[in-house]
Structure 1
Amino acid sequence: MKKALQPAMTGAYYAQCVISFAVALGSVALGIVFLPIDPWIRAFLAIAVLYTVTTAFGLAKCVRDRQELDSMSSRVDQARLDKLLSEHDPYKVDTP
């Protein structure tokens, strides 16, 4: 059975993703800290940002899990097809 090639994630790509996330979250946090608003509004905005971040991680996990499940089921289907093809002999004559 042939294994599907998955592109490897490079260290540079991983670093870029982490740095981008840190810059985005830091920028929003600094914006909230320096807004000229009451502390309770600032706290509300901070909680809203944290909630958005945690739900984004949850959504990413769900998407990844769904993709892995689809990949696994396609591998099982491919294994079944490979078994059927390996057992099939086109030159075999069925005699009653």
Structure 2
Amino acid sequence: MQQIGTQKDSNAWIFQTWASFILSVGMTTTGIIFMPGDIWVRGFIGMGLGFSVASTFTLAKTQRDLHESTKLTSKIEEAKVEQILSQHGVLK
């Protein structure tokens, strides 16, 4: 049976993604804090930022889980095909 390797991201890529995330949320938060206007307006925009970040994480996790379940289904189907072929002597 063929082993499928797992893809590992480099430390530089992981650092870049976290730095980008922290910088973008930090800069947006700073912009909201120093934005002219009523505190209620800034609070509303801040809540919108928080909900957007949370829903983005949820969407990314859902897409990852969907992709991983598709890979598992493919592995199961491939194993079934190999079993059928081995039972009928095609692979011998």
Q: TM-score, normalised by structure 1?
A: 0.86
- Which residue of 2 is the match for residue 23 of structure 1? 23
- Specify the code of the residue in structure 2 equivalent to 1:84: I
Deviations 1:67-93 (A, max 9, x none): 111011001011111112222225xxx
Q: Tell me, in whole angstroms, the C-alpha distance in 1 between the residues paired with 2:57 and 2:80.
A: 35
Q: Please list the CA deviations of residues 29-70 of structure 1 after superposition, one character each: whole Å capped at 9, or x if unmatched.
A: 011011111100000000000000000011011101101110
The answer for the alignment partner of 2:67 in structure 1 is 67
Identical aligned pairs, as a percentage? 30
**Alpha-carbon distance in structure 1 between the residues aligned to 2:3 and 2:79:** 10
Larger radius of gyration: 1
How many residues are treated as equivalent by the alignment? 90
Partners of 1:55 and 1:9 lie apart in 2 by 23
Measured against aligned partners, the alpha-carbon deviations of 1:1-21 in whole angstroms (never above 9, x if no partner) come to: 213333211111111111110
Q: Which residue of 2 aligns with 1:50?
A: 50
Q: For residues 3 and 12 of structure 1, what CA distance do their matches in structure 2 show?
A: 27
Distance 1:12 1:88 in 2: 49
In the superposition, the TM-score normalised over structure 2's length comes to 0.90
RMSD value over aligned CA atoms?
1.2
Where in structure 1 are there 5+ consecutive unaligned residues? 91-96
2:80 matched residue in structure 1: 80
Gaps of 5+ in 2: none
Q: Secondary structure of 2:89's match?
A: coil
